[in-house]
Structure 1
Amino acid sequence: MLHDIEHLLAQPFGSLPELIAQQAAHRPRHTALILDTHRLDYAALHAGMNRVARSLQQGGLGPGDVVAICAGTSVGYVLAYLGALRAGAAVAPLAPSATAGHLSAMLDNCGARLVLRDREVAAQWPLHAGVGAGAALRCVALDDAPEAGEPWSQWLAAGDAAPATIAPQPDWPFNVIYSSGTTGVPKGIVQSWAMRWSHVRRAVTNGYGPDAVSLCATPLYSNTTLVAALPTLALGGTLVLMRKFDAAQYLQLAEQHGATHTMLVPVQYQRLMACPDFDRTNLSRLQHKFCTSAPFSAALKAEVLRRWPGRLIEYYGMTEGGVRCELHCHDHPTKLHTVGRPAEGADMRFIDEQGRELPAGEQGEIVGHSAGMMSGYYRLEGKTREAEWFDAQGKRFIRSGDVGRLDADGFIVLGDRKKDMIITGGFNVYPSDIESVLCQHPQVAECAVIGVPSEQWGETPVAYVVARPGQLPAAAELRDWLNTRVGKTQRVAAVQLVERLPRSEIGKVLKRQLREQFVQDGLAAL
């Protein structure tokens, strides 16, 4: 049976549900999933996945259909996700933190006829005829809450009969992941079965396998979680989930379950380093640490390396795929200011404003081609074309929207999102350059710089600052301190002190919200 698993993984394309079925046959009593006091072995995971698939098939859902899930982390969520795949349907995991308007727009875009949700989501997102598939839309309550829909316990098919067999094709939609919406209404990113298969095969090289215990503390709708959670289960490991990240609880779970792998976002590393329990927690087994989704400062990387031995790998990429870099921080301690080198099989280029390819070393927008690239944005052909770039030979690349350059050793030094770049008096100003200086002030914990309207310059930089605990800096003094240390065009017009920066659930600073806040505060222009 082990040979069957190895044979599957050796194939250029395969089925993730089939791998889980093989794991259940090979080690049925091995723990697959842990959440709070709930434990599922592979036999139970496989049986639950099959019951969901049969329920969907009985409702007429299968290949070509989309199943939406909008709920907090739960065992039922995992079973629903895997079961939809087993039936051949694509999954659209929607963020419960999104507004009701955005959720309805996402549901309408993906065209799901079934949405699985819970009580908390139903309270903020009442569905009615005319939304999504209208009267044909079916709601199932993962937590059996009557206000959320048909009870999960009644909807699930009874018995142990196998669902109808499906044969997924490489170009089938595997899931539709909606972007974080940092710049407006989220777009549905179609990831194919082939793209997800490449993620699973790649995970083998990072130590995922039957002995892996992977601790995930980010939401299940996030691609950050899925790139760790799905390979963990496909390769026969144990997945430990948290409903919500808490640094002290995370450390307790890591030690209790002997976690070997973890995928975290930078703000979670920051909170772990600041947790009083960190230095007295035994994390000796947790040797495979990964980070992605938001800027990871060189200082924080260095602190993690110093206090938490083992591998630390930063991934730079996008849910859309194409662009993919890896920085093995433990092997390259002098390159912590970079996001690493292009990963194996990834082709990274740099282009100017007119889409012309730039020579190595020049700064421009990063575009990438790799095995893991989205099929496109769901039902948004125009947006898909905007996200693509083709070289002279017609090779397809995905545009990142990020600015960067290649250093002399082949490492990528990242700048900013193109949309976050500030044009002041005709000069391009990159917020990250200003932020890196401002964060050196002893009273500054974190900061974000945005461009705001200026009658004199068109745009001008403004800094939002979170002070270190116990510190009460004066905004004007911070502004003056900063402006003596940056170039003339980089000088900020104002510093705004805030208790916290707005972030998505995976730690990205929502600069769009800061720009909106600037207007709401009556500061229309400077």
Structure 2
Amino acid sequence: MASSSSLVSSPTPTPTAAASVPSIVRGTRVVQLIETPLSSLVEDCAYRFGNRTAVCVPWQNINLSYRTLAERSRMMAKLLLGAGLKYGNIIGIMAGNRYEYIETFLAGGRIGCPVVLMNNMFSPSELEHAMGRVNVSVLVIASNIGPRNMEEHIKCALSRPDGPRHVVVLGDDKNWGSDRACHYDSFFADANAKATDMELAAAESRVVVNDILNLQFTSGTTGRPKAACLTHRNILNDAMFVGAAMKLTPVDVVSCPPPLFHCFGLVMGFLASFYHGSSIVLPSDTFNAEKTIESVLRERVTALLGVPTMFFAQLELLDKQKGRFAPFTTVRTGLAAGAQVPAQLMNIILKRMNIPSLLIAYGMTETSPVTFITAIEDTEEKRFNTIGRVLPHTDAKVVNSRGRILPIGQRGEICTAGFPLQRGYWHDEEKTRDVMHEDEHGVRWMHTGDEGYLDADGYGYVTGRIKDLIIRGGENISPSEIEGRLLEHPLIGESCVVGLEDKKYGEAVACFLKASDETQGCRPSDVELRSWVSKTLGRHKEPKHVFWVGDEGVGNDLIKTASGKYQKHLIRALGNGLLKKSSPPSAKL
């Protein structure tokens, strides 16, 4: 299961008068859901927003209006049909944030060909496995993603006899020595290969709102990724509600550094902007703090999106190069999601980046991805410390290990239901049954794997991943509250807390830290850190082991997915390995 889209560092709940009230909430049903497929939305937006800029890609020197994007997606759809694609065939794409990515996604959606988004960090063998797993018919792949050369990936795709029928390469017009390979511009310009308007209309007429639009590989923060099947109904409605929470309109400009291969970039970024007639800016191929800041200033951005590590990087750059960048004056809102969002970080963003109403969104890949979101009208306390309330047409409950609903204020597993839930994992009924269960009323619930609770006003709080909980001497410890406390220390820029093997207690608290850039690498001692944690948390939550980025064996950064989430299973393995290296060898018998 993917880790949640946002974990807010939350206080331990205190009993309230509502303690006997069950932890179950139901989103409003007043708002009407979208019940038409993507092609209808594309044409409707082209009609309503016409020549307004839909997509701005400064690093490619590209601006596409709503009308032009509709025309180009229509052309690409005809070319895919002309290349032999049929309803249900799979299109794969592996690329950075670029305009061709969006054209390909829209084109596939038009003709009923699900688009599988490949993680930009896949190795050639991982790409090969993913293509085989979902049987990709056409692969659109960039020759370079950021500084990374993709030649081996392209060769791998072309070497499979049962691989994609067509490999369409972005960026490089190299001759790949195969009649299955061509450059995107050549593919797009081949007018003789396209289907007719009548054939396109026939293909579009087959597509219904509950068809799979998007195959999203889960982020892999807890293990091997699975392919979540998301429908037109899932992600178009999720995008509509996320954009509504940000109050997006045709005068807004949204900067979207998160990758398009993740639900954050594609749904919360592009589609949320697109539905509401806003302009979306893709500042760079892969995340670049400098280009993101420049895009905010140059394009007069009104909404900025990012995972916490992206905001950390921008804050570090602004501190390093004080005076180089003008203050932000146009950004009125945005989204922080994708990983733990500590209240301390929210406060810093408000004060130092001048973003008055940054929202928190919570969910998971399997739920399209957002199920809870804060509101611009919420108090600062709610925006900083909660995940907000459920979306319309969405339900949530908190249950114990036996599946029984807990009272308000008690911690348990967060479960969600409603329109955002995936169809299931691609060709994996067993894994689907593991996480999606029907209750006695026939309602299907997604078990998120996140621990949290609801308050009496319906706001959600996430206290950690159930699998990430540290079990020390039989006591459950939430890493997120320790991470939040560590991030309040002025010398700490990033923190990741995991449980490492311990002979006495089973697991011991360990923290991996990155020094705050503005302190020029100064570090508190281990004793100081433990004292800092125990001032507000119990002594059993003090980190026994402290590791710093840059030290021998730790590496130059905390291990993250391509979308910026900490890969805790790998960080845990690294920590256990470092402990074994530092321990004296056992005496041989």
**Fold-level similarity (TM above 0.5):** yes
| Counterparts of 2:497 and 2:51, CA distance in 1 | 52
Amino acid of the residue matched to residue 332 of structure 2? Answer: Q
| Counterparts of 2:574 and 2:293, CA distance in 1 | 35
Give the secondary structure class of the aligned counterpart of 2:150: helix
Q: Alpha carbons of 1:110 and 1:147: their partners in 2 closer, same or farther (altered >3 Å)?
A: farther
Alignment of 1:110-509 (within 5 A): 110-120=134-144, 122-128=150-156, 134-135=162-163, 137-146=165-174, 149-156=181-188, 157-158=190-191, 162=197, 164-165=200-201, 166-167=204-205, 168-202=207-241, 203-204=243-244, 206-227=246-267, 228-242=269-283, 243-274=285-316, 275-276=318-319, 281=326, 283-307=328-352, 308-321=354-367, 324-328=371-375, 331-335=378-382, 336-469=384-517, 470-473=520-523, 476-478=526-528, 480-481=530-531, 484-485=534-535, 486-499=537-550, 500-509=557-566
Deviates more, 1:113-122 or 1:21-30: 21-30
Match of 1:515 among 572, 575, 585: 572
- Aligned partners of 1:68 and 1:92 also within 8 Å: yes
Q: Which digits, 9 at most, give the CA deviation of each residue in 1:289-346, with x for residues without a partner? A: 1221111111121233345254322111112118721223663112322222233332
TM-score by length of 2: 0.81
Q: Alpha carbons of 1:508 and 1:11: their partners in 2 closer, same or farther (altered >3 Å)?
A: closer
| Counterparts of 1:232 and 1:417, CA distance in 2 | 30
Relative contact order higher in (CA < 8 Å, ≥ 6 apart): 2
In structure 1, the gaps of 5 or more residues are: 1-8
Give the secondary structure class of the aligned counterpart of 2:422: coil
1:155: how far off?
2.1
Which residue of 1 is the match for residue 16 of structure 2? Answer: none
Deviates more, 1:75-84 or 1:169-178: 75-84
Amino acid of the residue matched to residue 228 of structure 2? Answer: I
- Aligned partners of 1:475 and 1:495 also within 8 Å: no
| Counterparts of 1:350 and 1:10, CA distance in 2 | 26
Give the secondary structure class of the aligned counterpart of 1:399: strand
Q: Alpha carbons of 1:278 and 1:181: their partners in 2 closer, same or farther (altered >3 Å)?
A: farther
Give the secondary structure class of the aligned counterpart of 1:403: strand
| Counterparts of 2:385 and 2:32, CA distance in 1 | 36
Q: Alpha carbons of 1:221 and 1:480: their partners in 2 closer, same or farther (altered >3 Å)?
A: closer
For the pair 1:54 / 2:78, whether they are aligned, the reply is yes
Deviates more, 1:322-331 or 1:339-348: 322-331
Give the secondary structure class of the aligned counterpart of 1:125: helix
Deviates more, 1:426-435 or 1:176-185: 426-435
Give the share of equivalent positions with the same residue, in percent: 24
Amino acid of the residue matched to residue 238 of structure 1? Answer: S
Which residue of 2 is the match for residue 81 of structure 1? Answer: 105
| Counterparts of 1:213 and 1:13, CA distance in 2 | 27
For the pair 1:67 / 2:91, whether they are aligned, the reply is yes
Give the secondary structure class of the aligned counterpart of 2:213: strand
1:152: how far off?
1.6
Q: Alpha carbons of 1:244 and 1:320: their partners in 2 closer, same or farther (altered >3 Å)?
A: same
| Counterparts of 1:59 and 1:12, CA distance in 2 | 31
TM-score by length of 1: 0.90
- Aligned partners of 1:214 and 1:238 also within 8 Å: yes
1:505: how far off?
2.9
C-alpha RMSD of matched pairs (Å):
2.8
Give the secondary structure class of the aligned counterpart of 1:366: strand
Q: Which digits, 9 at most, give the CA deviation of each residue in 1:141-187, with x for residues without a partner? A: 12244366322222224279535111221220010011111122211
1:124: how far off?
4.2
Q: Alpha carbons of 1:399 and 1:283: their partners in 2 closer, same or farther (altered >3 Å)?
A: same
Which residue of 2 is the match for residue 24 of structure 1? Answer: 46
Give the secondary structure class of the aligned counterpart of 2:447: strand
1:241: how far off?
0.9
In structure 2, the gaps of 5 or more residues are: 1-30, 551-556, 584-589
- Aligned partners of 1:106 and 1:186 also within 8 Å: no
Amino acid of the residue matched to residue 361 of structure 1? Answer: G
1:18: how far off?
2.5
| Counterparts of 1:40 and 1:313, CA distance in 2 | 28
1:193: how far off?
1.0
1:64: how far off?
1.1
Give the secondary structure class of the aligned counterpart of 1:416: strand
Give the secondary structure class of the aligned counterpart of 1:134: coil
Q: Alpha carbons of 1:35 and 1:86: their partners in 2 closer, same or farther (altered >3 Å)?
A: same
Amino acid of the residue matched to residue 232 of structure 2? Answer: W
- Aligned partners of 1:424 and 1:457 also within 8 Å: yes
| Counterparts of 2:493 and 2:246, CA distance in 1 | 33
Give the secondary structure class of the aligned counterpart of 1:201: helix
| Counterparts of 1:424 and 1:248, CA distance in 2 | 42
Give the secondary structure class of the aligned counterpart of 1:420: coil
Amino acid of the residue matched to residue 402 of structure 1? Answer: D
Q: Alpha carbons of 1:454 and 1:83: their partners in 2 closer, same or farther (altered >3 Å)?
A: same
